[in-house]
Amino acid sequence: MKVRIPNNGGAGNMANMLKQAQKMQEDMAAMQAELEAREYEVSAGGGMATVKVNGKKELISLEVQPEIVDPDDIETLTDIIIAAVNQAMKQVDEVSQEEMSKITGQMNLPGMNGLF
């Protein structure tokens, strides 16, 4: 059995696919830089603790209202701060994944979830 390959078919399509992949890679790099520069602010404990993180998941600031500071109950303060930080990190992940999916067209690219 002989296989017929169109004269223009293979090379043109491959070059087009490579251009599209390069464009997507450039768009993703630009979006990643933008996402890393974003800041996210989250409050917990009814506003008693507020954290701000950037898109790199670095803690930028932490504000604690004085009335929550009880030397006899450090555990509550710690729990509220942990809740705020965890929620901020979750928000970074959700926004990053949402923005990147706009570029990738909902493609599920293996290994990409941990990067953004």
Domains of the chain: 9-104 (3.30.1310.10)
Separation CA 18–CA 102 (nearest Å) = 19
Q: What are the tokens at 41?
A: 């602010």
Separation CA 105–CA 108 (nearest Å) = 9
pTM across the whole model: 0.69
Mean pLDDT over residues 16-36, rounded? 89
| Lowest-confidence region among 25-34, 77-86, 105-114 | 105-114
Separation CA 31–CA 33 (nearest Å) = 5
